[in-house]
A and B are shown apart, each in its own frame.
Chain A
């Protein structure tokens, strides 16, 4: 008869068998890390084409095996009736199991986006590997597949390069929208708001053999620029926002982290002053007054004098004028964005959702007409309070003399 101690040892020995792993084990050297996904219409009618950007760890890492001249990613496409089928079909080309937990981007080609992307969305929230933190973007004027061929200086991984640009632009300019899948899916289903996504443009680069930076041998033929925003109505792409319009949207949504406003110098006509926005807050509400809907937008912004193109000595009257011009510039951004939204008949500001939250009963009466009839004609009142706080490390500009 075995003693308790012997039974325990036997059990422990049996447990050793499980150390080799479980059914669902995934060895790192058998995985292909998909870093970005592009989705387009396939040539075959009704099918989707998926372009996957897979990291090549051996080209990225240091040590003897790494080769800095080798492309850091492998790009390939596969097709299918659904996203999942296209992914599974991709396994017939990939020697490693495609792994999506590190995917950073879901990029749609313009043609597919204009026809509607609902068919390509379900997989990303249903699948256990993919995450809702991936960025959603649309390739302007091209396919997602083409966009994924672009390269970046300083970053060998295009997905990281694009992410770096997005983060920098969001922090320094606020002329981009940072939209993650979770937010995008919510906008699709929430009452009174249309989704927006990041907009990616291809920027051709001159063929110059004198390539500087980290990429030694490879000539970067084209790069991607993340700027502006793609605007949807339900799941259909209906238009684009330029930089100023996108910043206008960000003022309203209180998502301006920093920005640079260039205004005309009040003391020197034709000259420019750059104002760096350091803090901004936007608040919106929708009211129903005398049978008409009015959107009220209130923005409070603070900034400091960034630079000037002419001599400026900030006296009190100039200071106040600068603040007024700063407010005017913000107002113009917002008007531009509102006009674009009303023209496209899509409420990407979410004015409808403000109404739903403040007056759900009234919302239920106007819900069906909101995007096409009410929002495009509604009045918008903008109240901007701007304050210029500092002048940087100098008070006035350097004065040029004739001596």
Chain B
């Protein structure tokens, strides 16, 4: 089944690099657009939304890893063919690859929108999308090891910058804005919690990377650490945003960027929002490269090719095209992220794929264990 022996022999990453990849990828929607905060009816409940969705992501991580551990040296695309047979496996994997491509396209569009709305309104959005897709494509072309190393480096910078952005607007924070807690009950935050949880489903991309870990058994531990970490950062972001912007938080299109703009220490340290913006752009690039790499590898495995590289740049072009063509305007992009729109489709793709694989694994029982018992 192995389509490219180089995947296992040379291209390996460490568990903590996987953690960095998942952490940085999940942080991108928080730092760029924070869709679960935008439009929330009771903004002070934002951190609770993040908390519940993080808790909800834990079973998903465990589920993904339960499936992956049966085939520690195979990607989800590969073991779907083992479990479901060639035709059904390939068909479902194609849908899965399309999902990865879609996320890469949305990420490019989010970065493009952020730059066009906030910093360089005259520059065509395609410039930003094209540049980020090209850089991400280059990383993906050079292999998961490069993607992992970039993520590992970016992880620490993102963490430091995030802490800086969360602490420096101290003068503008009013923590009383966080009260009352849940004035409308849990019922009114269901939609926002679902939006946030659906973004967490992106973690299924880790099912492509497990066989490329030096120790595939590390995947669960580091995935859980990443989810916990990103949950903590997301909750802090949500709380600080409300402390600073209060009732205005849901009106912001780029909440984290707006937060950076309020940094003013002694009338000296100010106008530094471009630094976090740059760092978050790099993290969006890491996310894109992760998804493009996973998509290209998946496609190569579906086609039974030895190398995935020929798919990378065409996928870059496709993802940018998707990012441009999917939404006419920013309002449409916001509506798209709602659970009742793309949310249902994503849930069907991700959870449906995993459910089918789980059922197949349970029905086949021990008959499949020999196929994947490589490590």
Q: Name which residue of chain A comes closest to B178, CB basis.
A: A357
User: Which stretch, B243-251, B295-303, B351-359, touches the partner chain A?
Assistant: B243-251
In chain A between 339 and 396, which residues have their CB closer than 8 angstroms to a CB of chain B? 356-358, 360-361
CA distance A185 to B262 in the complex (A): 14
Closest chain-B Cβ to A21's Cβ sits at a distance in Å of 10
- Say whether A360 contacts B183, CB under 8 Å: yes
Closest chain-B Cβ to A296's Cβ sits at a distance in Å of 16
Q: How many interface residues does B have (CB within 8 Å)?
A: 26
CA distance A247 to B172 in the complex (A): 21
Contact string against A for B residues 329-371, beta-carbon threshold 8 Å, 1 for contact and 0 otherwise = 0000000000000000000000000000000000000000000
CA distance A24 to B251 in the complex (A): 26
Question: Interface size class for chain A?
Answer: 20 to 34
Q: Does A128 contact B (CB under 8 A)?
A: yes
CA distance A361 to B121 in the complex (A): 44
Closest chain-B Cβ to A167's Cβ sits at a distance in Å of 9
Q: Does B215 contact A (CB under 8 A)?
A: no
Closest chain-A Cβ to B41's Cβ sits at a distance in Å of 13
Q: Which residues of A contact B246 (CB under 8 A)?
A: 186, 189-190
Q: A23-B120, A128-B119, A182-B262 are in contact. Are A357 and B244 (CB under 8 A)?
A: no
Q: Does A298 contact B (CB under 8 A)?
A: no
- Say whether A357 contacts B264, CB under 8 Å: no
Q: Does A271 contact B (CB under 8 A)?
A: no
Q: Does B271 contact A (CB under 8 A)?
A: yes
Closest chain-B Cβ to A124's Cβ sits at a distance in Å of 12
- Say whether A101 contacts B271, CB under 8 Å: yes
Q: Which residues of B contact A180 (CB under 8 A)?
A: 172
Q: Which residues of B contact A182 (CB under 8 A)?
A: 172, 244-245, 248, 262
Closest chain-A Cβ to B260's Cβ sits at a distance in Å of 11
In chain B between 116 and 139, which residues have their CB closer than 8 angstroms to a CB of chain A? 117-124, 127
- Say whether B118 contacts A189, CB under 8 Å: no
CA distance A186 to B174 in the complex (A): 11
Q: Does B187 contact A (CB under 8 A)?
A: no
Q: Which residues of A contact B261 (CB under 8 A)?
A: 131-133
- Say whether A189 contacts B247, CB under 8 Å: yes
- Say whether A133 contacts B248, CB under 8 Å: no
In chain B between 179 and 212, which residues have their CB closer than 8 angstroms to a CB of chain A? 179-180, 183
- Say whether A128 contacts B183, CB under 8 Å: no
Q: Does B258 contact A (CB under 8 A)?
A: yes
Q: Name which residue of chain B comes closest to A167, CB basis.
A: B267
- Say whether B122 contacts A186, CB under 8 Å: no
- Say whether B123 contacts A128, CB under 8 Å: no
Q: Does B328 contact A (CB under 8 A)?
A: no
- Say whether A128 contacts B179, CB under 8 Å: no
CA distance A191 to B42 in the complex (A): 12
Contact string against B for A residues 308-325, beta-carbon threshold 8 Å, 1 for contact and 0 otherwise = 000000000000000000
Contact string against A for B residues 287-315, beta-carbon threshold 8 Å, 1 for contact and 0 otherwise = 00000000000000000000000000000
Interface residues, chain A, with chain B CB atoms under 8 Å away: 22-24, 101, 125, 128, 131-133, 180, 182-183, 185-186, 189-191, 356-358, 360-361
10 A-B pairs besides A131-B261, A131-B262, A182-B262 with CB distance below 8 A are: A23-B123, A125-B251, A128-B118, A132-B262, A182-B245, A185-B248, A189-B247, A357-B179, A358-B179, A360-B180
Interface residues, chain B, with chain A CB atoms under 8 Å away: 117-124, 127, 172, 176, 179-180, 183, 244-248, 251, 258, 261-262, 264, 270-271
**6 smallest A-B Cβ distances: which pairs?**
A24-B120, A360-B183, A23-B123, A357-B179, A186-B246, A23-B122
